[in-house]
Chains A and B, each alone.
Chain A
Amino acid sequence: MSVWPAAVEPDSATPSSAPASAGALLCLQGMGKRFGAFRALGDVSLAIAPGEIHCLLGENGAGKSTLCNLIFGVYQPDEGVMTFDGQPYKPTGPADALARHVAMVHQHFSLVPDLSVVDNLLLGQSRGVLKRGECADRIADLSRRFGLALDPRARIQDLSVGERQRVEIVKCLMRDPRLLVLDEPTAVLLPDEIAALLGVCRRVADEGCGVMLVTHKLAEIRQVAERATVLRGGRVAARSEQPGQELDELVRAMIQRDLADTSATPESRAASARPMASVPGVDAIRTGRVPEPALMADGLSVVDADGVKRLDRFTLIVRPGETVAVAGVEGNGQSELAAVLSGMRPATEGRFFINGQEMTGRAPREITRAGAGIVPEDRHAVGCITGLPVAENLFLDRLQRFRRWGLLDRRAMREQALELMQRFDVRAASPDVGFGGLSGGNQQKAVLARELTLDGLRFLLAAQPTRGLDVGAVQAVYGHIQQACDKGVGVLLISSELDELIRVADRVVVLYRGRVMGECPAEPAQRDRIGAWMAGHEA
Chain B
Amino acid sequence: MNTLTLPSSQPRWLQALTARPALWVSLAAVIGSLLVGLLLVRLLGVPVVDAALAFADGAWGSPYAFAASVNRSLVFALVGIGFVLAQRANLTNVGGEGQIAVGGIAATAVALYGHVQDLPMGLGFVLPMLAAALAGGLWGALAGVLKAKAGTNEVIATLLLSFIAVWMVYGSVQSEALLRQPMTHSNTLPESLEVPEATRLPLLTGDYSMPLHLGLPIGLVLAVVVALVLNKTVLGLHLRAVGLNPVAARRAGIAVGSTVVGALFAAGVFGGLAGACMLQGEQYSLKAGFSSGFGFDGLVVGLLARGSVTGVIAGSLLFGFLRSGGINMEMVAGVPTALVVVIQGLIIVVLAGAALAMDRHKETER
Contacts and interface: CB of A to CB of B under 8 A. Distances in A.
Interface stretch (B161-169, B247-255, B348-356): B247-255
A402 B238 CA distance: 13
Interface stretch (B53-61, B212-220, B227-235, B335-343): B227-235
Interface string B62-104: 0000000000000000000000000000000000000000000
Interface stretch (A121-129, A243-251, A431-439, A519-527): A431-439
A402 B251 CA distance: 20
A364 B234 contact: no
B241 A382 contact: no
B240 A387 contact: yes
A364 B248 contact: no
Contacts, number: 77
B245 A381 contact: yes
A385 B228 contact: no
B244 interface: yes
A437 B366 contact: yes
A385 B253 contact: no
Contact of B1 (A386, A387, A397, A433): A433
A452 to B, nearest CB: 15
Main secondary structure of the interface of B (DSSP, over half): helix
B237 interface: yes
Interface string A389-409: 000100011011011001110
Contacts of B247: 344, 381-382
B366 A385 contact: no
Contacts of B1: 429, 433
Q: How extensive is the interface on chain A, given as a class?
A: 20 to 34
Contacts of B252: 364, 368, 396-397
A384 B248 contact: yes
A376 B253 CA distance: 14
Nearest to A410: B232
Given A365-B253, A376-B251, A388 B234 contact: no
**Which of B234, B244, B252, B365 gathers most chain A CB within 10 Å?**
B252
A429 B2 CA distance: 11
B232 A342 contact: no
A374 interface: yes
Contacts of A365: 253-255
Contacts of B241: 385, 388, 392, 396
B237 A392 contact: yes
Contacts of B249: 385, 396
B233 A386 contact: no
A403 B248 contact: no
Given A344-B251, A434-B366, A399 B245 contact: no
Contacts of A369: 253
Given A386-B366, A387-B240, A388-B244, A364 B233 contact: no
Contacts of A429: 1
Contacts of A233: none
A407 B251 contact: no
A76 to B, nearest CB: 21
A181 B35 CA distance: 57
A274 B255 CA distance: 36
Q: How extensive is the interface on chain B, given as a class?
A: 20 to 34
Contacts of A350: none
B248 A383 contact: yes
Contacts of B236: 408
B184 to A, nearest CB: 51
Contacts of B240: 385, 387-388
Given A386-B366, A387-B240, A399-B237, A407 B245 contact: no
Given A364-B251, A368-B253, A396-B252, A406 B245 contact: no
A345 to B, nearest CB: 11
B302 to A, nearest CB: 20
A434 B228 CA distance: 21
Contact of A397 (B253, B255, B366): B253
A374 B248 CA distance: 12
Given A387-B240, A407-B232, A408-B232, A382 B366 contact: no
A369 B253 CA distance: 9
Contacts of A396: 241, 248-249, 252
Nearest to A387: B244
B234 A400 contact: yes
Interface string B234-278: 101110110011011111111100000000000000000000000
A482 to B, nearest CB: 24
A412 to B, nearest CB: 13
A385 B242 CA distance: 9
Interface in B157-214: none
A381 B248 CA distance: 6
16 contacts: A363-B253, A364-B252, A368-B252, A376-B251, A381-B248, A382-B247, A383-B248, A385-B244, A386-B366, A392-B237, A396-B249, A407-B232, A408-B234, A410-B232, A429-B1, A434-B365
Interface of B: 1, 228, 232-234, 236-238, 240-241, 244-245, 247-255, 365-366
Interface of A: 342, 344, 363-365, 368-369, 374, 376, 381-388, 392, 396-397, 399-400, 402-403, 406-408, 410, 429, 433-434, 436-437
Given A384-B248, A403-B234, A408-B236, 8 more contacts: A364-B252, A365-B253, A382-B248, A385-B248, A386-B245, A386-B366, A387-B244, A392-B241
The 9 closest A-B pairs by CB, nearest first: A365-B253, A434-B366, A396-B252, A387-B244, A397-B252, A399-B234, A385-B245, A436-B366, A407-B232
